[in-house]
Amino acid sequence: MSGARDSDTTALARYMTRRTGDGLARNTSRRPGTWRAVGRNVGIPILSIVLLVLVWEWIVVGFHIAPYIAPRPMQAYEAVRGDWVTLWPLVLATLRETIYGYVSGALLGVFLGVVMAKVPFLQRMVYPLLVLSQAVPIIALAAPLVLILGFSVVPIVIIVAWIVFFPVTVNVLDGLSHVDQDLLNLARVYGASRWRTFVQIEIPATTTPLFSGLKIGATYAVTGAIIGELVASNGSSLALYQEHANSNLNTAAVYGTTILMTIIGISWFLLVVGAEILATPWQRRSVARRAWRRRRETALTTAQVEN
Amino acid sequence: MTDNVLLELRDVGKVFAETVALSPTSLAIEEGSFVAIVGPSGCGKSTLFNVIAGLLRPDSGEVRLAGEPVTGATGHVGYMLQKDLLVPWRTVEDNITMAARLTRRVTAEDRAEARRVAVQYGLGDFLRHYPSALSGGMRQRVAFMRTLVTHQRLLLLDEPFGALDAQTRLEMQQWLLQVWRDTGRTVLFITHDVDESIFLSDRILVMSPRPGRVVADLANPLPRPRDIATLTDPLFNGLKSRIMGLLHGVAT
């Protein structure tokens, strides 16, 4: 979310610069005040999380809440640190499920979005089924999946993919259906084939909606993995660990595990935001950073000419 | 008809849902000439353009380019609209080579040409910029360079400067005339701005709506090269009042 807002403000800043300028474009590769922007975009979110933890501390201490009802932040931290040897492999397992499910869900989502955008008949056929798939409560879905596939990582991965593909499909479909018709006409006038138009125009034009879908999917992916673990994991998992802690009234461990899950979720989201930043340099730069691929191509062509 | 005809339309007509967008029209455009088409909205000028570009198939008639029938076929003209249609994810250089990228592999020669054209026409310092960093006038210039490097002999320009402020527009018009002189292309230029049509062209087709048709085909006697002084030339004013009369139904 913060990524999207950031690019909006960047575009706005650009727009204002262009308006107030004298018709000359800015010749700077970097916006002035980059460090201040980093401070604003990273410092303030961190500050708000610190504040959240402080409020938590004040509430628990101020209202004299018993540790088994709600622990203080430090107690939750200690609970996680004290059993880190057990927790770390579980964190890795959750991450693995998230990665497998997310990647397959995202790929499926892109595939369905493209197919539906290109074949209107399939769009009418498949769209209702997709909506249906999301209306099914995910918990209700988990039980039959376990019956069919057994207690293993497979139903967990399927649950994650099930949650992730939908926002990706919807956004890709939406993006592909809203590519500027004049731009597509221009490609036609040039004599471009449908394939080249798709690769050179439609796909890149869909980058922004694609990443919207991927970011929404990222926020839900870890939640999906935890739900899956709760129902389908064989023996040990982060979700079962938490359930166990809960039944032992080890509330500090419950809170600690929740925080751990949240951190996994945020990291995953940030990873996708990072990928978006790398994939869309034009949204925050006015000059292309470098053109290594072109230089190599030029070098190759020159070499061929010289031979 | 001389041998010099590049584009020929024979009885080209188009009807949309019982509205005659373009009543059967015949035209011959000479190679190397600059022809302006002026008319109010709904007069069929964009329909005419889309038929020539091959985006629309006419209901009747035939389009010939350099003697070859091209009715309903694409890939034979340069084409530019009021919207610059630069893709935001490509640099200026890569936007200029877009036509090549859409039809084949972009070669080192394509890139060298894009750089050469950009340098020659004042955008050499912006080759690696993204379009979002450019002003409206610069973006239109990039769009025009992109049209130029398609090496099509016929360029269709549909109100390319319509979205620019008056000052920038005048600069762009002079720039366009310079490029046109340098390259010897044939230009069909749609506009609703009468001054613009006179300032730029050798010949002016005046169109009228309901049904869309060409009502006058006027030679432009103004000498070249043209500059700001042209805009106050008596010949300019005479031609302008004639066109205004045709457009607004006032006899002159």
Query: How much is the ipTM here?
Result: 0.88
Predicted TM-score (pTM) of the model is 0.80
Q: How many domains is chain A built from?
A: 1
Does residue A110 form part of some domain?
A: yes
Contact status of A9 with chain B (Cβ, < 8 Å): no
Q: What is the chain A residue with the closest CA to B53? A: A189
Q: Which of B98, B102, B135 sits opposite A25 (nearest CB)?
A: B135
In a domain, A253, yes or no: yes
In angstroms, the separation between the Cα of residue A172 and the nearest Cα of chain B is: 17
Q: Let me know: does B161 contact B169? Beta carbons within 8 Å.
A: yes
Measured CA to CA, the distance from residue B60 to residue A167 in angstroms comes to: 47
Domain boundaries, position A254: 71-297
**Residue A294 contacts B, CB cutoff 8 Å:** yes
Q: Give residue B136's pLDDT.
A: 87
CB contact under 8 A, A287 and B130: yes
Would you call B140 an interface residue with chain A, using a CB distance cutoff of 8 Å?
Answer: no
Of A185, A192, A287, the CB nearest to B102: A192
Distance CA B242, CA A66 (A): 93
**Domain limits of chain B?**
1-77+153-161+184-252
What is the C-alpha to C-alpha distance for residues A137 and A227, in angstroms, rounded to an integer? 11
Secondary structure of residue B69 in the 3-state scheme: strand
Mean pLDDT of chain B: 89
Q: Give B2's pLDDT tier (boundaries 50, 70, 90).
A: low
Evaluate whether residue A270 is within a structural domain.
yes
The one-digit pLDDT tens for each residue of chain A (307 residues) are: 334 444 444 444 444 344 333 344 444 445 556 677 777 878 888 899 999 999 999 999 999 998 889 999 999 999 999 999 999 999 999 999 999 999 999 999 999 999 999 999 999 999 999 999 888 888 888 888 888 988 888 999 999 999 999 999 999 999 999 999 999 999 999 989 999 999 999 999 999 999 999 999 998 999 999 999 988 887 789 999 999 999 998 999 999 999 999 999 999 999 999 999 999 888 888 888 765 555 555 555 444 444 3
Q: Which CATH class is domain B1-77+153-161+184-252?
A: alpha beta
CATH of the domain at A76: 1.10.3720.10
Q: Would A176 be classed as within a structural domain? A: yes
Q: Three-class SS of residue A247?
A: helix
Cis amide bond preceding B209, omega within 30? no
